[in-house]
Structure formats: C-alpha cells, structure tokens
Amino acid sequence: MQRYFIYLAYDGTNYHGWQIQPNGCSVQECLMKALSTFLRREVEVVGAGRTDAGVHASLMVAHFDNEEELDVMAVTEKLNRLLPPDISVFKVCPVREDAHARFDATARTYKYYVTTAKYPFNRQYRYRVHSVLDFDRMNRAAATLFDYSDFTSFSKLHTDAKTNLCKIMHAEWTQVEDTTWVFTIQADRFLRNMVRAIVGTLLEVGRGKLSIEGFRNVIEQQDRCKAGTSVPGHALFLVDVEYPDTLFVKT
C-alpha cells in the first residue's frame, strides 16, 4: 500500500469547513468524491487539520492510500478537472506508509487579515474594523503568548481534544497595505477556534479595552468566557503545514 500527500488550496466561502458534515458541503467531501471518481473506488482522505466554516487555505495537506503506485502528475491534473473551481490541487507526492498528514505535522501557520477601508473586492477575505487600533500594543500583547502552553481560554468549548497544550513559535501583526494588517501565527498545533479567539482578544487590546497585563490574565485564567469574541472566519487563511523531510519518498 502506497501513501500519498496531497497539497491543495481552497476558498472556504461556500463550505462548512474542511471536515465532512451531515448537513453541509465540506472540502474533505469534495476531495474524497474526486479521488473516488478517479480511482473508481471509495477513498478515505485525512487532512492536516480542520478549518472552520468559511475559513480558507492557500496550503492544506491531506493523505490517502492506494494499492498501486500512481503517476502523481496525472493524479494532480485529473483531480483539478474533477474538483470545483474553488478547490485546486497543486502537488501529489509519495510518502512513507506510516506518514500522517495530521499527526506528523511539526508546524502550522495561519494568517488573519483586517482592514480599515471599505473595498468591494476584499469583503470576502478581509475583516473590516471601524475603530483605530494600536498595533504596537497588540504586538506586545501577542508576544506574551510565547510564555504559555495552555490555551484553554482560546479554545472552543466541549471539543474532543485530549489536551489544550500548544507551542506557539510566531505571533505578529504586520502592515501589508496602507489600510490592511495581517496577523501571522505559527504553532505545533491549534485548538478549535483558537486563532479567531486570539485575534478577537488582541483587537480588544488594540482598541484600549484590554491592557497587555489583562491579556496575560485572560490566558492564565484558562476560561473561554474571559477572552474576547471570536472574529469571523472569512479573513482567516491556513497558509503552511510543515513536515520532517524523512516522511517523503524520493522519486
């Protein structure tokens, strides 16, 4: 049995997230249908994570198995013909038979975009804020995330996660356009709703409604009710998933 990693991107606007849902279309479901059509059998696909409804990915990774070796270029081309326009595959590569798209990932990176301007072509991919934000204060608050590993305060309640421990390696706001800022965060793993809750709480810091020490207290209380409101998912992008080189089969 040969295992393969699929590298793909998707616009999450019309999907109920990555994971298959009983009452809505998901990215995972579309990818499994395309693979099943191509391989003429039922195919199980496992993703690197579960993006929420409306969240996008410029890079998501998933794995599947096949009994025979595949022409990866042909698989890529065929899948792109079968998938809808808002999902695209840009690479399929063989990996070790025990490689796992979710559990072997060493780091994941998300970006969240906010803008202070009304612009019709950004409305699906930017969160518009109407107040003046102090991004220097927000960055100083974001730096406190490195001092902690338990992020219960930023996790969706009643999930199936066995632990709320994460290691955050990067968290920073940067200006990318005159009216647009992006929050980039990298960690070994993320909890459900974690990035959106962190951004929502940092916006409270930027508005002057929460101090930097208050942000630290939110983390330490390990209580979701103490954190800010989660920001909408449409401005959030999964942009990278990293793996050890030893997982990949050289061709």
Mean pLDDT of the chain, nearest integer: 95
Query: What's the pLDDT at 157?
Result: 76
Which residue type is seen at 102? R
The answer, yes or no, to whether residue 158 has pLDDT greater than 80, is no
Phi/psi for 226 (5° steps) reads: -85, -20
Distance between CA atoms of 31 and 213, rounded to whole angstroms?
A: 44
Distance between CA atoms of 95 and 93, rounded to whole angstroms?
A: 7
Query: What's the pLDDT at 133?
Result: 96
243 among the known binding-site residues?
Answer: no
What are the structural domain ranges in the chain?
Answer: 2-103, 109-239
Record: fold of 2-103 = Alpha-Beta Plaits (3.30.70)
Task: Judge whether 69 and 221 are in contact, CB under 8 Å.
Answer: no
Q: Tell me the C-alpha to C-alpha distance, in Å, between residue 168 and each of 15, 24, 39, 62, 154.
A: 28, 32, 39, 22, 13
Residues across the chain: 251
Distance between CA atoms of 160 and 157, rounded to whole angstroms?
A: 9
Q: Is 2-103's fold the same as 109-239's?
A: yes
Q: Tell me the C-alpha to C-alpha distance, in Å, between residue 10 and each of 166, 223, 228, 232, 242.
A: 26, 33, 28, 17, 18
Using pLDDT thresholds of 50, 70 and 90, give the confidence band for residue 251. confident
Query: What's the pLDDT at 159?
Result: 67
Catalytic residue set: 52
Sign of CA dihedral 214, 216, 222, 224: positive
Using pLDDT thresholds of 50, 70 and 90, give the confidence band for residue 250. confident
From 236, 186, 240, 198, select the one nearest 52 (Cα to Cα). Answer: 236
* pLDDT, tens only, 213-228: 999 999 999 999 999 9
Higher pLDDT, 123 or 95: 95
The answer, yes or no, to whether residue 90 has pLDDT greater than 90, is yes
Distance between CA atoms of 53 and 57, rounded to whole angstroms?
A: 12
Average pLDDT for residues 99-119, to the nearest whole number?
Answer: 96
Structural tokens at position 3: 């295992």
CATH number for 109-239: choose from 3.40.50.300, 3.40.50.1220, 1.10.3720.10, 3.30.70.660: 3.30.70.660
